[in-house]
């Protein structure tokens, strides 16, 4: 198998799996229980929270566990709308957001909110000036992702935060940082976001666990996502997923300890893949891969669904857009407006610590063979 879909999910290391097994077998108490086993589980959750918060650059009290990045995004939107409920019903987002942001915004647009959707240029870029032009007195939320999951574009969150401050806007700034955390520089202090969504399984952690950073000072001004036993400081009730939390923290610990090496390697693999694949006649790059782990390419006239199926049968794992689309046309690529053939031929490859030059050479050969043995669409 040749895995080129690290932006979809990542393998869990034995150390991460071991941390989860330990949490589930020896520290299996309910963190809300008052006897020693429960207190040990509660202390472990607190220690894991501190590890992840430290890597993000926030306090543990500002980090709240969720079930995934999608839940984090939905919670951030709900929190911002409640916070601004007396000021307006205007939302600003972009056409290239993950569906976990765009679908809630579509729902809200059908239920009394006005949503301004900013469009990227053909290189996939969104600017702070676009946000400034769209900003209104009744804007309550600006949601712009940090790194695009299909093109690797990095968006100017810090510049957007400065726009909001200069305009003295009361709108909250949310960024989906699922593809940014421990992949590009990111901290609340540097980017200025009020709400930041994270996910474990994009960085070597398990599926089923994510987190939401909520800026200190907002906690008392938003309503709980889930009502019940009062876990997560009363904002998200439900027994903590101790095994997943342990795996999340161990993945963060391992990646943070080797971050410079990992990022140098993924950037080198991205550069090499770009050089090799662009040597295939008619192959083109889509978007601007500022982040070191994602490339979006297109073979115009060669449908990516066929390409992914063909290469998949040969052991190559890559995607036609986001894995979350489940084969549907990519709204991200459509927003770049590359034309029908380029959009239809778009596919994503993404890199991790295990990617090798030899695998990229094999991918090059497989893509070239696919092109040379298929008739292009008219």
**Active centre residues (catalytic):** 324
Q: Is 375 helix (H, G, I), strand (E, B) or coil?
A: coil
| Of 7, 5, 11, 3, residue with least CA distance to 316 | 3
Complete DSSP assignment for 9-21: --PPPHHHHHHHH
Number of neighbours of residue 256 by Cβ within 10 angstroms: 15
Helices 69-83 and 99-109 sit at what angle, rounded to 10 degrees? 40
Secondary structure element (H or E) that encloses residue 284, with its range:
strand 284-286
The DSSP 8-state label assigned to residue 377 in this structure reads P
Alpha-carbon span 193 to 144, nearest angstrom: 10
Q: Which residues neighbour 134 within 8 Å (Cβ) at sequence distance 6 or greater?
A: 92, 116, 118
Convert 35-58 into a string of H (helix), E (strand) and C (coil): CHHHHHHHHHHHHHHHHHHHHHCC
Question: How many CB atoms are located within 10 Å of the residue 110 CB?
Answer: 9
Enumerate the H helices of the chain as residue ranges.
Answer: 14-25, 36-56, 69-83, 99-109, 128-134, 157-166, 188-191, 242-257, 259-277, 304-312, 331-336, 340-344, 357-372
Residue 24 exposed, middle or buried by CB count within 10 Å (0-12, 13-18, 19+) = middle
């Amino acid at each position: 198998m040749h895995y080129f879909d690290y932006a979809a999910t990542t393998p869990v290391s034995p150390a991460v799996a071991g941390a989860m097994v330990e949490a589930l077998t020896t520290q299996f108490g309910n963190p809300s229980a008052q006897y020693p086993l429960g207190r040990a589980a509660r202390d472990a959750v607190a220690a894991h929270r501190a590890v992840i918060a430290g890597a993000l650059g926030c306090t543990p009290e500002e980090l709240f566990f969720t079930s995934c990045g999608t839940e984090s995004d939905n919670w951030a939107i709900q929190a911002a709308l409640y916070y601004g409920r007396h000021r307006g019903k205007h939302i600003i987002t972009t056409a290239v957001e993950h569906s976990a942001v765009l679908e809630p915004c579509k729902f809200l647009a059908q239920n009394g909110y006005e949503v301004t959707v900013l469009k990227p240029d053909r290189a996939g870029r969104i600017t702070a000036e676009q946000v400034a032009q769209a900003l209104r007195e009744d804007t309550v939320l600006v949601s712009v992702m940090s790194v695009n999951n299909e093109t690797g574009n990095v968006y100017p969150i810090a510049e957007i935060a400065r726009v909001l401050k200069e305009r003295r806007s009361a709108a909250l700034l949310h960024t989906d940082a699922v593809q940014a955390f421990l992949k590009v520089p990111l901290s609340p202090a540097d980017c200025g976001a009020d709400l930041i969504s994270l996910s474990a399984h994009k960085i070597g952690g398990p599926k089923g666990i994510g987190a939401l950073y909520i800026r200190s000072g907002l906690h008392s001004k938003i309503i709980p996502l889930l009502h019940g036993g009062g876990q997560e400081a009363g904002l998200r009730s439900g027994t903590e997923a101790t095994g997943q939390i342990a795996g999340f923290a161990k993945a963060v610990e391992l990646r943070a300890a080797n971050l410079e090496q990992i990022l140098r390697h993924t950037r080198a693999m991205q550069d090499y893949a770009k050089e090799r694949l662009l040597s295939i006649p008619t192959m083109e790059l889509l978007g601007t891969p500022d982040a070191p782990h994602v490339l979006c390419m297109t073979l115009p006239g060669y449908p990516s669904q066929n390409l992914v199926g063909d290469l998949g049968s040969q052991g190559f794992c890559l995607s036609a857009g986001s894995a979350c689309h489940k084969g549907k046309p990519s709204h991200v690529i459509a927003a770049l407006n590359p034309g029908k053939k380029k959009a239809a031929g778009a596919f994503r490859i993404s890199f991790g610590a295990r990617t090798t030059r030899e695998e990229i050479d094999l991918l090059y050969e497989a893509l070239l063979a696919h092109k040379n043995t298929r008739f292009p669409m008219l």
